[in-house]
Structures are given as structure tokens and as C-alpha cells.
Structure 1
Amino acid sequence: MTDQLELFDVTIIGGGPAGMYTAFYSGMRDLKTKVLEYNESLGGKILLYPEKIIWDVGGLPPTRGEQLIQQLETQAKTFEPEIALNQKITSFERDEHNHIILTAENGDRHLTKTLILAMGHGIPVQRKLEIEDADRYEVTNLYYTVQELKTFAGKRVVISGGGDSAVDWANALAPIAESVTVVHRRDMFGGHEKNVANMKATCKRILTPHELTELHGQGDKIAAVTIQNIETGEKERIETDAVIVNHGMKGDLSVLSEWGLKQGEWGLIEVNEKMETNLPGVYAVGDLCTHKSKVRLIAGTFVDGVNALNSAKLYIEPEAEKVAYVSSHNERFKEKNKELQTAGAR
């Protein structure tokens, strides 16, 4: 029975940048909106690097990840969408009206006319260091994310990994740590070329192609690590005060194939220029989707969200305008503008 469930125009699965901006734009289009998020808070992948400086969002000066989340969340709540946290969606079905019923692992059910998937790479699972008993050091000086830079001030830091987050962390820590050594299995690093060049110029050592093979404890902390050259087998012991591991995330997207969604390489959802999937009324945005003009930047996810939402609006109301009016002409902003002007005059 779905009669007791509240019906929404748009439901967005995922509360990262793509999902939050899509919720805001849904409000601009006067649609009843719900956001479902797996985690205990909004933010998506940015939650993993709250102190990372983000440069490539249009109109924003260099902004810390934590601050960007706060600003996106404030914007997302402009038109008061319903937000449900701790929602691991496991079931997708349709009722007799062709509305979509979503069921979460905890039993919560959600009813919607359209669905926008903004799940990134799926439910995120951190790739852990595959060394015996490594987990015992997670409460002391083995880290899988950098929450506060000051934690590493004056310390000898070893970073294992070569993705964009590893490069960003190395650049952020180099000025405050005693030393930063980066260990990576490949010669090529992720991230923008300028960031990689800066890392190579400022970090004490960049060791490739190497991998971290042993942790040497002293009490409850790591005192040294052993690294090994993958090609020659040669080993080296390095004294350290902190080890940061960035071996990437693995995401679980298996549930999407069970729903009948067409997936391409890496399990990403294939969409057209309107962000439409192969299922009617279902759209995909952000890191989750792939299309010919895909731009894998935060700014690109905003465009995905706008296109998906406009498609959802026309699916619900075929005679509606194809796009929303700009904010300076949008009726929904008139009262909010007055409030801001009044507050500014005080």
C-alpha cells in the first residue's frame, strides 16, 4: 500500500554537491523535493577531505571542502526540501500509478514521481591498507583521511597513494610537516598537473614505483615503515611519525543493475544529453553517470543536475517551460530578496 506515503515530485538519492545543487534547482522549478542520503550528514565525497582547498568552482575563491559543503547545504535548503539521512536504498519498484517506490535497508519507504540518482561512485568504502594488523594503528597514527592539518605539524609523514587526494594532502602538509614522503606504485599521479609538479618540488621524497609493505610498531604507534621497489624488489626502512593511506574508494553500485539500469564502464550509468537513463522518469548526475560531453569537475555536476531536473519537470508537466527563469526574474526569489534587502538595511 502506498496511499499512506507522501508523494514527492522529485526524489534525489545522494547528498553530495550534485545532489545538493539539484535540490536547490528543483526548488527554483517549484517541485516538491526530497533528498535521501546514505551517510549521517550531507557532503558526499568532500567529507573525506574537509581541509582540502578547492579552486575550480566558478565564482568562488579557493575554498576549504568543509566550507563548500556548508555553503552548498545552505543553498540546498533554500526552498525547504525534505532531507532524510541514513538511507541505504535497496529496493526500487513502481505502483499502479507508475510512481516509484524506494525502500531503505532500515525499512523506510519513499514515494516519488521522478528519481534523480546522484550517488557518486556508490556507497563509499575506503580501501584499507592490506598489511596484517594494520587496523591496530588506526586509533593512533595511521590515517585514511586528513581531518585537521595541525595534527601533522612538525611530524615526519609518509603518504601511501597517488590519487588526487594524496597529491592535495602532500601539498597541504609540506609547509607544516617536518618532512613528507610520498610512496606510489606508479610513476603517474592523479590530480591536476600543476598540483603534481608542486608536490614534486616541495615534498622531501617521491618514491615510485614503490609500495608500503610493512609497519614497524613501537608501543601502540607506527615508528617506521618498510617500502619496496616493485620492479627491483629492493627494500628500505623509513622512520615516521604518521602514515596516511590514500588507496582510493571502492563503491558498491550493484543494486543499480538489479533495478534494470543500463551501466557502462566501471558500472557508471549511461545517460543522454538530457540526463535520461533507460528507465522512464529516472535520471543520473555527477560522478555516477557518463555521457559524451561529461565534465568531471564539481562545476560539471551542477550542469548535470540542472539538465536532469529540467527533464524531470517536463516528464511531470509536459507543457512546462523547458528551463527555470534566472534568479533575478524567478518569482520564487522575490520574497527572499526582500528579506535580504531588509536585513541589509538594518
Structure 2
Amino acid sequence: MTEYKDITIIGGGSAGLYAAFYSGMRDLSTRIIEFKPKLGGKIHVYPEKMIWDVGGVTPITGGKLMEQMEEQARTFDPEIILNEKVEKLEKNHEDLFVVTTNTGQEYLSRTVILATGGGIVEPVKLDIEGAERFEVSNLHYTIQRLDDFKGKKIAVSGGGNTAIDWANELEPIAEEVSLIYRGEDFKAMEAYVANLELSSANIYKNTTIEKIIANEEGHRVKAILTRNQKTGEEILFEVDDLMINYGYDRELKFIKESSLNVELVREFFVKGTAKSETNIDGLYAAGDILSFDGKVGLIAGAYTDAANAVNQAKLFIEPDAHAKAKVSSHNAKFDEKNRELLSHLYTKS
């Protein structure tokens, strides 16, 4: 059992990281629990994609934005717990939240902010025996660097937005791109599909991957055997890399099974208010996990959710506190940091 914090944030993506920063502005002791080995959330799925819609930020890659969000989140030195998956959320006899992870560790907190995105997300894996051994080499569920695939033969399997977007991004730089989809009609935006159909990518519908053929050493995918489910035709593809995107498994088990009876919407979202409140006192939500009328589904909206959640947590802990923090340009907490930054700038010039 650890000492209690004012706020425990479950999830280290956009909403969770901004909540950690803003809670420091409100003088609240803070903990982030993230089940991945690093912070950043779902942006890890598209680190090289350009992001244009964060207010005041010129076009920036997902990877760079993650770096900046993490640096900002660490401003007030929150406790950061990585590689631990939350499995239980309850309250004890002292009315403190008890957050239990897969390690058996229990974390106490006066308030909790749920910032898990649309639930804890894991990619749906390729259901072929032994496929997992290729994940360390050339079987991929995300793309970290497009340049790694330059001049290669790539097979992409999937029919949703991400799979088709990958095929479109890889087509100009790869030697060959083949898109393999088990269905007839793609489940992606029309613009993505139109771009794919106009490209040089090979498209195989009604087709599934039946077998993986390894190289002589046995540690890389050398080829894949596919079957057309309508005609029975089999095709053997030699590949340098195999990309899989069958969507993501979402898990909110720790919320659904909690004795707190948190109200959900459409199974994967927490029902809340524009102030990031849930139906449980002291429990708030921010980012994709939060559903309310007028919700803004942008990273910028996640930041607003996070600030609202922290402000409500502050008022829950200290009912007489100000409703919100002073903006950074007039906040004394930044005076010393500003002097250091300005001194550095003047020294450089």
C-alpha cells in the first residue's frame, strides 16, 4: 500500500498527460498509471503522421507531439507508474479510492481521473499459430518509421481506416504494396479508399492469410500464403514486411466490474458532463473515454476535458478553492521557470 495522492490519473495519453500538468498548477499531488512501457497513448499508433489541429501548434508529427506532451506533464514532477495495468477500482472505509494493478500493488487516492482513451487498447493479433515470434522482426501492428519500409515488398492486411491509410502512406516509398482484406466492402473513409484505388497498390478482397512461411533462420516472415474465400484460389506472396491491422480490443473490465457502478455509454465510454464529472463523486473522466452532449473529439478537446476534471477534483478536495487555476502568463508558479527560460534565451542571443 502506498501513500495516497490527491489525484490518480489512469492513462498516460493526451488527456492524462495534460491532466498531470494542470494538476501541478493546482498544487495537487499527482500519480499517473500507464499500462504501456511509455507515455503517449494512442498517438504511438501514428508517430510519423502530421497533426494539424492542435491549437497554436504548427504541423507536428505525432512522435514529436508525444515528446512535448510528456515534457510538459513532468513539469511538476508527478509520480509516473509504467507497465502496470489497472485491474480494480474501489473505495475503502476512509472514502479513498483504491486502484489495484496487475502487480497486486494498491494505490490510494482522494480522487481519480479516467483517461484511458476508448478503454485500454491492444491491437487484434493475427490468429495464426506461432505468428507472435515474428513480432520482434518483420510482423508489425504499428508503424514507427515509414523510412524503414523504403524499397521493400509490403503486405498490409485489414480493411479499416488504419490499414488503408498505411497502404496509402507506404505505396509511394515501397517497391510493392499489397492490401489483403477478408471482406468485400472496405470499412474506411471514402477518401482513403479512393486514394488506394488510384494508386499502384495491389488489392485482394475476400482474401485471408492462411499461413506464414519463415526464412531459413526461422525468425522473419519470408512469405505468406493467402486464400480467396470465394474462389478458393491460393496465392503465395514473398514479403519483406507484413503489416496487420484488424482493429483494437478495448477493455474496461476494471470499470465495469467495480462496485462503484460507474455509468457507461455504448459499453466503452463513461457517461459524464461537460465538466468531466461522472456519476461517482470524486471520479472524473477526460479524453476519448468521456461521453457527453457537445463532446469535441480532438486532442484539443482532451486538454479541455483534463483541465475541467482537475478543477472539479480540486473543488472536491477543497470546496473553498478557486474554480480554476490562474493562466500561466499570470501564475506565480511559473515565475522562476520563466526567468530561467528568458535568461537562457538572452544568453544565446
TM range (shorter): 0.7 to 0.9
Alignment of 1:149-298 (within 5 A): 149-186=146-183, 187-190=185-188, 194-219=191-216, 220=218, 221-229=220-228, 235-259=234-258, 260-298=261-299
Name the structure 2 match of 1:108: 105
Q: CA deviation at 1:94?
A: 2.6
Q: CA deviation at 1:229?
A: 4.7
SS in 2 for 1:307: helix
Name the structure 1 match of 2:42: 45
RMSD: 2.5
Count of aligned pairs: 342
Q: CA deviation at 1:19?
A: 0.3
User: Structure 1-normalised TM-score?
Assistant: 0.88
Q: CA deviation at 1:37?
A: 1.5
Q: Is 1:52–1:169's contact at 8 Å kept on the other side of the alignment?
A: no
Q: Does 1:35 align with 2:32?
A: yes
Q: CA deviation at 1:236?
A: 4.3
Measured in 1, the distance between the counterparts of 2:230 and 2:291 equals 35
SS in 2 for 1:93: strand
Q: Is 1:10–1:32's contact at 8 Å kept on the other side of the alignment?
A: yes
Q: Is 1:211–1:230's contact at 8 Å kept on the other side of the alignment?
A: yes
Q: CA deviation at 1:138?
A: 3.2
Correspondent of 2:71 among 39, 49, 74: 74
- How has the CA–CA distance of structure 1 residues 77 and 242 changed in structure 2, closer, same or farther, with 3 Å as cutoff? same
- Structure 1 residues 284-331: Cα deviation after superposition (integer angstroms, max 9, x where no partner): 112222222223332221121122112212212223222222221222
| Runs of 5+ unmatched residues, structure 1 | none
Q: CA deviation at 1:233?
A: 5.4
SS in 2 for 1:12: strand
Q: Answer with 233-242 or 303-312: which moved more.
A: 233-242
Name the structure 1 match of 2:127: 130
How many percent identity over aligned positions?
44
- How has the CA–CA distance of structure 1 residues 83 and 224 changed in structure 2, closer, same or farther, with 3 Å as cutoff? closer
Measured in 2, the distance between the counterparts of 1:223 and 1:166 equals 21
Q: Which amino acid is 1:11 matched to?
A: T
Q: CA deviation at 1:155?
A: 0.9
Q: CA deviation at 1:127?
A: 0.9
Q: Which amino acid is 1:174 matched to?
A: E
Q: Is 1:271–1:291's contact at 8 Å kept on the other side of the alignment?
A: yes
- Structure 1 residues 23-78: Cα deviation after superposition (integer angstroms, max 9, x where no partner): 11112222222211122221122233333333332222332222211110000011
Measured in 1, the distance between the counterparts of 2:278 and 2:200 equals 44
Q: Answer with 70-79 or 194-203: which moved more.
A: 194-203
Name the structure 2 match of 1:59: 56
- Structure 1 residues 104-131: Cα deviation after superposition (integer angstroms, max 9, x where no partner): 2323232221110111233333211123
- Structure 1 residues 221-275: Cα deviation after superposition (integer angstroms, max 9, x where no partner): 4444344455665554444322100112212211111212122213321112222
Q: Answer with 331-340 or 101-110: which moved more.
A: 101-110
